[in-house]
Amino acid sequence: MYGFSKKVNAGFDEAVEQVTEALKGEGFGVLTEIDVKAVMKKKLDLDKRPYKILGACNPQLANQALSAEPDIGLLLPCNVVVREDDDGSVTVAFMDPSAVLDLVQRPEIHDLAADVKARLERVRDALA
């Protein structure tokens, strides 16, 4: 598996706010926000359900990873998806940093990935 998720009891915009705040509590900021619905409408004239990709980064942990392996930036940031499902419910999904960062076969990166994963799991668990 390359990710983990949770259905939340919130509207789409509220879920984006909740996950952004919960990420801050674990030392992450949102560096990028891609509004997939808006992009699909603009580029392909398709009407899609709300879907955002948040590029989350913890600067201290990113610095450790980049210091250990300069090309690890290819695997960063940690993506978090907030999406409205067909039934109107909202799901927040997190990339599993262990699945991605274990591609770098170095023990210090493995330990760092486990730390990042634990933080993201706490973010998931903090969501309503």
Q: In a structure prediction context, what are the per-residue pLDDT tens digits for the chain, which is 128 residues long?
A: 899 999 999 999 999 999 999 999 999 999 999 999 999 999 999 999 999 999 999 999 999 999 999 999 999 999 999 999 999 999 999 999 999 888 888 888 999 999 999 999 999 999 98
Task: Look at residue 121 in the predicted model and tell me its pLDDT.
Answer: 98
Contact 117, 97 (CB under 8 A): yes
Task: Look at residue 96 in the predicted model and tell me its pLDDT.
Answer: 97
Task: Look at residue 1 in the predicted model and tell me its pLDDT.
Answer: 87
Nearest one of 89, 91, 84, 112 to 100, comparing CA atoms: 112
Task: Look at residue 103 in the predicted model and tell me its pLDDT.
Answer: 87
Domain ranges of the chain: 3-126
**Lookup: tokens for 85:** 């499902």
Query: The CATH number of 3-126 is which of 3.40.50.300, 3.30.310.70, 3.10.580.10, 2.40.160.40?
Result: 3.30.310.70
pTM (two decimals): 0.94
The alpha helices in the chain, defined as continuous H runs, are: 12-25, 36-44, 59-68, 97-101, 107-126
